[in-house]
Chains A and B, each alone.
Chain A
Amino acid sequence: MNGALPGRISYAECSARERIARLFDAGSFREWLPPAMRVMSPHLAQLGVPAAFDDGVAIGEARLADRRVFVGAQEGEFMGGGVGEVHGAKLVGLFKRALRDRPDAVLLLAESGGVRLHEANAGLIAVSEVMRALLDTRAADIPVIVLIGGANGCFGGMGIVARCADQLVISDIGRLAMSGPEVIEASHGVEEFDSRDRALVWRTTGGKHRFLVGDCDQLVEDDVQAFRDAAVRALDASRPLTLQSLQDEHAVLTQRLRAGEGAEDAIDLWEGLGIAHARAVPHMNAEQVRTLRQESVA
């Protein structure tokens, strides 16, 4: 299967709860609103869809390299990780509790297609509340770290939430974007974007692309231990949310827009950004792409 190299445990193939169990210090996770409390979606049963005991997200506190952190992990197998009313409220509560209790960081193990369409308005409001709570947390100097490596990627409103964080870690098979491939094809036609062309989808939304253009801070292989190591490194790499940092971000985006003028494909954009050997990127492993970005920036 995807990236399951010898001696490695695929992050993508783990459930949200397995990721928590393997990523944080052994046995350190204490869950809030656990499944037995049955804090579930009030909407799904009316539509003939079974609810999940945890509404598709586990929240709580844990230790990472002996540091106290708060954790939220979305389960991509339940409704594609879609954010419903309760799911969103649990994430908001996680950030609000962080504001009160001041852990060393909040880690979000994101895997989501965005708003859960069954709960459309409630889900949309929930996602916007998550963004606000996340930014409040950062404004209080508590770093927020997002990890992306699930098979469902991180799309829609959760894609925006992810980009609100201090630090992003993504695997080469992770994906981060606003509209998903099928959505783009449905609205703009197959000529614009062929959602069944997997190479195209990953060149446009995948981890290597997000890392090369600077949307993500660390690129790792699909390996739980690699994600853990990256999360530990991210603990002390917080970026204060200031006017200056926002202006810097805008400058980067302006530069990217210019570099991508006339680009037909992500490869053209990489070339425009001065990435050497851009055509070879799809065949490189995470380490080679990391080296490439370092050399291109230098």
Chain B
Amino acid sequence: MSMAAGLETLHYNFTGTQAVGAFAPVLVGVVGSGNLEVLLEPSPGPACRFEVQTSARGFGNIWEAVLRDFHSRHPLAGVVVAIHDMGATPAVVSLRLAQAAAALP
């Protein structure tokens, strides 16, 4: 969709060293104005994969910086992180990711 109103979908892949193994999916946050929900699920392989869907288009560089920063502090492996975002600030995104990581076994 080329309309400015459309959603933007972003994908990032990092290689992690902290293998998480099997775990029950973790959900934190809510899709609301300036907020986001983060769903962590196990996935095979050493990657930590991020799938971002956001209503705020054109912030790919900032997403990459925020997610890279998270991954440097939590180098998770075998995890897929799905995000639904409604214009959360980078600080809120970082907090939600840390909250989700804290809920892992």
- A interface residue numbers (CB < 8 A to B): 15, 17, 34-36, 45-54, 75, 77-78
Chain A CB within 8 A of B90 CB: no
Interfacial chain B residues near A50, Cβ < 8 Å: 7, 31, 53-55, 84-86
Of chain B, the residue at the smallest CB distance from A47 is B5
Are A51's CB and B31's CB within 8 A? yes
Binary interface profile of B, 30-41, with partner A (CB < 8 Å = 1, else 0)?
Answer: 111001010101
Of chain A, the residue at the smallest CB distance from B57 is A48
Residue among A15, A36, A50 facing the most chain B CB atoms (10 A cut-off): A50
- 8 Å CB contact of B31 from A34, A47, A48, A78: A78
Binary interface profile of B, 1-35, with partner A (CB < 8 Å = 1, else 0)?
Answer: 10101110000000000000000010100111001
Whole-angstrom CA separation of A51 from B36 in the bound complex: 11
Of chain A, the residue at the smallest CB distance from B31 is A52
Are A52's CB and B84's CB within 8 A? yes
Given the interface contacts A48-B55, A78-B31, does A53 sit within 8 Å of B5 by beta carbon?
Answer: no
Instruction: List the 5 closest pairs (A to B, CB-CB), nearest first.
Output: A48-B5, A36-B25, A77-B32, A77-B30, A50-B84
Which B residues between 76 and 105 are near A, CB-CB below 8 angstroms?
82, 84-86
Interfacial chain B residues near A52, Cβ < 8 Å: 30-31, 37, 84
- How many of B's residues come within 8 Å of A, CB to CB? 21
Chain A, interface SS category:
loop
Are B30's CB and A78's CB within 8 A? yes
Of chain A, the residue at the smallest CB distance from B4 is A48
Whole-angstrom CA separation of A46 from B5 in the bound complex: 9
Given the interface contacts A34-B25, A50-B55, A53-B39, does A75 sit within 8 Å of B5 by beta carbon?
Answer: no
Interfacial chain A residues near B85, Cβ < 8 Å: 50
Interfacial chain A residues near B25, Cβ < 8 Å: 34-36
In the complex, how many angstroms separate the beta carbon of B29 from the nearest chain A beta carbon? 9
- B interface residue numbers (CB < 8 A to A): 1, 3, 5-7, 25, 27, 30-32, 35, 37, 39, 41, 53-55, 82, 84-86
Are A45's CB and B30's CB within 8 A? no
- 8 Å CB contact of A48 from B3, B27, B30, B37: B3
Interfacial chain A residues near B3, Cβ < 8 Å: 48
Whole-angstrom CA separation of A268 from B9 in the bound complex: 55
Whole-angstrom CA separation of A35 from B25 in the bound complex: 8
In the complex, how many angstroms separate the beta carbon of A122 from the nearest chain B beta carbon? 19
Q: Assuming A50-B53, A50-B86, what are 6 further A-B pairs, CB within 8 angstroms?
A: A46-B1, A50-B7, A53-B82, A75-B30, A77-B30, A77-B31
Whole-angstrom CA separation of A50 from B7 in the bound complex: 7
Are A53's CB and B27's CB within 8 A? yes
Interfacial chain A residues near B53, Cβ < 8 Å: 50-51
Of chain A, the residue at the smallest CB distance from B35 is A77
Are B7's CB and A45's CB within 8 A? yes
Interfacial chain A residues near B39, Cβ < 8 Å: 35-36, 53
Interfacial chain B residues near A77, Cβ < 8 Å: 30-32, 35
- 8 Å CB contact of B55 from A15, A17, A49: A49
Some 25 contacts from A to B, beta carbons below 8 A apart, are A17-B27, A35-B25, A35-B27, A35-B37, A35-B39, A36-B25, A36-B41, A48-B5, A48-B55, A49-B55, A50-B7, A50-B31, A50-B55, A50-B84, A51-B31, A51-B53, A52-B30, A52-B37, A52-B84, A53-B39, A77-B30, A77-B31, A78-B30, A78-B31, A78-B32
Residue among B3, B27, B31 facing the most chain A CB atoms (10 A cut-off): B31
Are B30's CB and A15's CB within 8 A? yes
